[in-house]
Structure 1
Amino acid sequence: MNDPRRHHYVPQFHQRRFADANGRLWIWDKTTDRIFQSTPDSIAVETDFYRLHKYERLGHDPFVMEKQLAEMEGQVSLITDQWLDWLRGLKLGAKIPIPKPNREIIARFMAVQFLRTSDTRDILCAMYHAEHPDKPLSAEEKANLHTDLMWDLDLVEGIARHIENAIWMFARNNTSTPLITSDNPVAFRTKDNSMWLKAGFVSDGTYAVYPLAPDIIMFCHERRYWRAIKKFDSCLSSIPLTDEMVQSENSGQAFMASRFIISSTNDFEFVREFSEMIGTDIYAGRDQGA
């Protein structure tokens, strides 16, 4: 029996888009300040990360969640591959076709991607420990907490609806500064662009940011607050990204990352400097607007 035991919490198809010409990734481990090269099969992965221990004891397939994630990733990879082909050759300001079923798939994927990471598991367990300081969790109990959260359909669909109903826009990066990604790639930003958020993001004006590749990024603007730009839904922005705008978006990956920042080049100077400001008055008062 060939059970999938190595579970990526950031899909390999997404990571491969940020690889260099040799198929390798540049990684900055912000917890150790170490830079190294790796491959998409070796980063943001843990053995049995989504193993359903409680269901296994009842005789069910413990890897059904991992298999469901793999099926979703296959669909999303095909859809977004087509988007990238279009967006790279599209005239600025033009629109790409996004049928409703595809919109639903991508919105649900982004919701699940936000919930499935190691960072979310760490935050969830920290919240549990705050309420139960005398009850340490075993590794299996941590996994159970996390997989229960991911199978909370009301939660997943609530986040997915927030994203699906948003105004989707894309921007192209033709600068020498690549967009980067991380081990927690779906970011959320306040409506005034002043802060990145890990919680409380389903609110008026807050929007999602998802880098698709080093040269293409996706924005999902909450429809009520951003109604003035609704005519640009599904469009490539008429304004190409500048180096400063790219760094502004890269700061979101530095903020969201639990540990690993992923890039096609060995240049982490900006995200290193930005990461040092997180949690300080400098970060709180900084205008990050692109």
Structure 2
Amino acid sequence: MDQKKRHHFVPKAYLNSFCNKSGRVFVYRKDGDGKPLPLVPDKTQHQRYYYSQPKPEGGMDNNTLENLFGDLEGAWPPLVERIEAREDVNDSLEVLFNFMALQRARVPACRDAVELMLAATVKNLAKQMHQDGQLPPLPEGCENLLEELEVSIDPHQSIHAMVVIIKGVIEMVDSVGWVVFHNNTNTPFLTSDNPVAWFDPSLSFSQQKPYSINPDGPVIVQFPISPKLLLIGATEYRDNFVRQGLMYGDIDSDEWVECVNAQTCRFGYEAVISSTESQGDLIADFADISPVHVSRSVTVDGSDALLHTIEFGSRSKKPKWQNEDG
């Protein structure tokens, strides 16, 4: 069997909807020079062996997950065509929401956060064991060794975590109501390498945190489908959605589209993706901002514990995992 090396975390089936007439998307890398890269979908948003898993008998399985996701992605383009035509797609909501949930769980923004959370937990445990005298004394001159320790996590662990993340997204899906908005303005919707976003709309833009909401408060979920289509989930739409299912709406306000795009830009992890070169200034405003993992030590009942959050900030380089083969 041919071994697949290039695994897409943003599928070509999704990116095709954001292509210009030349069949390319404009990729603005947050660590780049501000100039977009015009790329065909097959040449962007992938990593080598991103979904590879160890086999029980040894070696790596490079194909199973990539093939599975490819099968699921095949249903996306015809569904988008039906949405563009404003057809009743309530018979295909499972496809819609499963695709969206996977696009939250599979991306580096999510998988990196899981691995960094596990790394911080391991490091904190080592420090606690040292304080409790359960480790040998640190070598002379290396008193800060544990503070400076870099911990890398086997990426296979974040593949396992995808199941938990998807279940969490589906719970979110079931808690709100949904509308697809057709964009009637000249300002296209942007997307990113982390296209599923949710936040607390009762807070100001500067106070909002990524994926942080009050359990009893309002929430907005946004997922760009194309430059002209946006899926929105919101607490205020819940009653209508229960009665009538997925409905369509129209947007005629450039300002509203710009607000959506600002969220897309700051939720983007390593890249923002556009169908045009007309929105470079807005994208540049968020070049140093991504949803990143933050861990803080807190004292609970006299014991130290770690508090993990996702916040807007600058990405740091994740320690690279080295397997036994290097």
Cα deviation for residue 226 of structure 1 reads: 4.4
- 1:19 Cα deviation after fit: 1.0
Percent of aligned pairs with the same residue? 22
Structure with higher RCO (Cα < 8 A, 6+ apart): 1
- The runs of 5 or more residues in structure 1 that have no matched partner are 88-95, 285-290
- The answer on whether the counterparts of 1:178 and 1:264 sit within 8 Å (CA) in structure 2 is yes
The alpha-carbon distance between structure 1 residues 277 and 113, as it changes in their structure 2 partners (threshold 3 A), is closer
Count of aligned pairs: 262
Q: Does 1:103 align with 2:93?
A: yes
Match of 1:255 in 2: 266
Alignment of 1:79 onto 2:103: no
Q: 1:278 to 1:52 in 2, by over 3 A?
A: closer
Find 1:116's aligned residue among 92, 106, 117.
Answer: 106
* Aligned equivalents of 2:289, 2:267: Cα separation in 1: 14
TM-score of the pair, normalised by structure 2? 0.72
TM-score scaled by structure 1? Answer: 0.80
Which residue is 2:119 aligned to? 129
Aligned residue among 161, 172, 178 for 1:168: 178
Counterparts of 1:213-252 in structure 2 under 5 Å? 213-222=226-235, 226-227=237-238, 229-230=240-241, 233-237=245-249, 239-252=250-263
Q: Highest Rg: 1 or 2? A: 2
C-alpha contact 1:189 1:209 (8 A) present in aligned 2 = no
Query: In 2, are the aligned partners of 1:169 and 1:232 still within 8 Å (CA)?
Result: no
How far 1:191 sits from its partner (Å)? Answer: 3.2
Shift of 1:159: 1.7
The separation in 1 between residues aligned to 2:50 and 2:42, in whole angstroms, is 15
Runs of 4+ in 1 over 6 A off after TM superposition: none
**RMSD of aligned C-alpha atoms?**
2.8
Unaligned runs of 5+ in 2: 124-148, 292-311, 313-326
Match for 1:257: what amino acid?
Answer: G
Structure ranking higher in strand proportion: 2
Q: Which residue of 2 aligns with 1:48?
A: 49
| Distance in 2 (alpha carbons) for counterparts of 1:276 and 1:59 | 38
Which amino acid in 1 is paired with 2:232?
A: F
Corresponding residue for 2:224? 211
Q: Verify the 8 A CA contact 2:199 2:212 in the aligned structure 1.
A: no
**Aligned residue number for residue 321 of structure 2:** none
Task: Say which is worse superposed, 158-167 or 116-125, in terms of deviation.
Answer: 158-167
